[in-house]
């Protein structure tokens, strides 16, 4: 019988340099997307896919992240006294979402290094990794499909997105073979941020992974790669090359909406796209947005 995955690891210890100075004293994962910090969307996605145990890998400025998923007694008492039950519900929602755990990364030596910090907590079972600055629209399905593929193939699974060839140098890019399922490919190779024109495909690895625990053993032996960082992509490349020892790596091709909130332009697009569809904001925003677009050249 397949193992039921319950653990999610959320790396949120990066420096967020693309968003300075906003991220000088606050993690980029706490930037609000409409009225919730980006990280809350990510935790909600994990919980909606059935993952109840969340380990967040944090760095300096971790307090805001921990506080967001904890009680704020003063605020709760004030809202209670005012009888503002609607806001009280919103404030308490993040506190009750999941069984939250935290580990510090120390130095941000790369995504692979951040994931390795989860080894003790995860133990010898498959687990999911969700990047704290990557939002998948909750109307589209990704993580539960990846969990399904992991269970069926007993292998590691990454999420892939077709990107424009001009964008491949910003992502880890996969070399793939087709499988008997339309949205699933077998990964034969991976390269982190290939120089323009040298990408093996236009299938970019985005911030969702379901990994076999063997990844820890491989990460321990992975040397710093591109940018001097310990790259998760390099460890996955090793796993893809020795499928007999690691189960190999598959990709689920995602065709839905994804927002990279660590990128300024994508962050703004995320807010606009999510806000116009909201019941409480859309009615006011849609006509304003149309008018505004009319004023542009
Ligand atoms: P990014 O490369 O987008 O994060 O990592 P960054 O380094 O903070 O971003 P910039 O380029 O400086 O703006 C993707 C995810 O991995 C986490 C980040 O927090 C983000 O969620 N990460 C990255 C870590 O947890 N530790 C690291 O050492 C690096």
Which atom of ligand 1 has the smallest separation from the CA of 27? Answer: 19
- C-alpha span between 77 and 61 (Å, rounded): 26
The domains of the chain are located at: 7-262, 267-297
pLDDT at 61: 77
**Does the C-beta of 172 come closer than 6 Å to ligand 1?**
no
Which atom of ligand 1 has the smallest separation from the CA of 230? Answer: 28
pLDDT at 1: 55
- pTM for the model stands at 0.95
Q: Show pLDDT as tens, one digit a residue, over the chain (297 residues).
A: 567 999 999 999 999 999 999 999 999 999 999 999 999 999 999 999 999 999 999 998 788 999 999 999 999 999 999 999 999 999 999 999 999 999 999 999 999 999 999 999 999 999 999 999 999 999 999 999 999 999 999 999 999 999 999 999 999 999 999 999 999 999 999 988 999 889 999 999 999 999 999 999 999 999 988 889 999 999 999 999 988 888 899 999 999 999 999 999 999 999 999 999 999 999 999 999 999 999 997
Decide yes or no: CATH 3.50.50.60 for domain 7-262.
Answer: no
Residue nearest to atom 25 of ligand 1 (CA): 13
**CA-wise closest residue to 248 among 225, 206, 226, 218:** 218
Å from CA of 16 to ligand 1 middle: 6
Three-state secondary structure readout of the chain: CCCCCCEEEEEECCCCHHHCCCCCCCCHHHCEECCEEHHHHHHHHHHHCCCCEEEEEECCCCHHHHHHCCCCHHHHHHHHHHCCHHHHHHHHHHHHCCEEEEEECCCCCCHHHHHHCCHHHHCCCCEEEECCCEEECCCCCCHHHHHHHHHHHCCEEEEEEECCHHHHHHCEEEEEEECCCCCEEEEEEEEECCCCCCCCCCEEEEEEEEECCHHHHHHHCCCCCHHHCCCHHHHHHHHHHCHHHHCCEEEEECCCCEEECCCHHHHHHHHHHHHHCCCCCHHHHHHHHHHHHHHCC
Å from CA of 80 to ligand 1 middle: 38
**Does the C-beta of 13 come closer than 6 Å to ligand 1?**
yes
**Does the C-beta of 73 come closer than 6 Å to ligand 1?**
no
Structure tokens at 63: 């307090």
pLDDT at 3: 76
**Does the C-beta of 18 come closer than 6 Å to ligand 1?**
yes
| Residue 67 contacts residue 21 (beta carbons within 8 Å) | no
pLDDT at 2: 66
**Does the C-beta of 14 come closer than 6 Å to ligand 1?**
yes
pLDDT at 226: 86
**Does the C-beta of 12 come closer than 6 Å to ligand 1?**
yes
**Does the C-beta of 111 come closer than 6 Å to ligand 1?**
yes
Which atom of ligand 1 has the smallest separation from the CA of 110? Answer: 28
**Does the C-beta of 110 come closer than 6 Å to ligand 1?**
yes
Å from CA of 255 to ligand 1 middle: 24
Residue nearest to atom 22 of ligand 1 (CA): 14
């Amino acid at each position: 019988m397949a193992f039921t995955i319950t653990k999610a690891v959320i790396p949120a210890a990066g420096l967020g340099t693309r968003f300075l100075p906003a991220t000088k004293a606050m993690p980029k994962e706490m930037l609000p997307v409409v009225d919730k910090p980006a990280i809350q969307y990510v935790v909600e996605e994990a919980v909606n896919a059935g993952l109840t145990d969340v380990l967040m890998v944090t760095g300096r400025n971790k307090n805001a992240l921990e506080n967001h998923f904890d009680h704020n007694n003063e605020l709760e008492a004030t809202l209670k006294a005012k009888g503002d039950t609607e806001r009280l519900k919103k404030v308490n929602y993040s506190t009750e979402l999941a069984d939250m755990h935290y580990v510090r990364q120390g130095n941000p030596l790369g995504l692979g290094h951040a994931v390795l910090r989860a080894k003790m907590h995860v133990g010898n079972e498959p687990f999911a990794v969700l990047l704290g600055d990557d939002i998948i629209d909750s109307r589209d399905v990704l993580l539960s499909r990846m969990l399904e593929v992991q269970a069926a193939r007993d292998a590691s699974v990454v999420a892939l997105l077709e990107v424009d060839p001009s964008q491949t140098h910003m992502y880890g890019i996969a070399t793939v073979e087709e499988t008997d399922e339309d949205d699933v490919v077998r990964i034969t190779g991976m390269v982190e941020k290939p120089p323009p024109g040298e990408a093996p495909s236009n299938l970019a690895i985005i911030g969702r992974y379901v990994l076999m625990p063997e990844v820890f053993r491989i990460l321990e032996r992975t040397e710093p790669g591109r940018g001097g960082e310990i790259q998760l992509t390099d460890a996955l490349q090793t796993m893809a090359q020795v499928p007999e020892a690691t189960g190999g790596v598959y990709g689920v091709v995602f065709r839905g909406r994804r927002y990279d909130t660590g990128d300024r332009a994508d962050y703004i697009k995320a807010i606009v796209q999510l806000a116009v569809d909201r019941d409480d904001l859309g009615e006011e925003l849609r006509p304003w947005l149309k008018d505004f677009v009319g004023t542009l050249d």
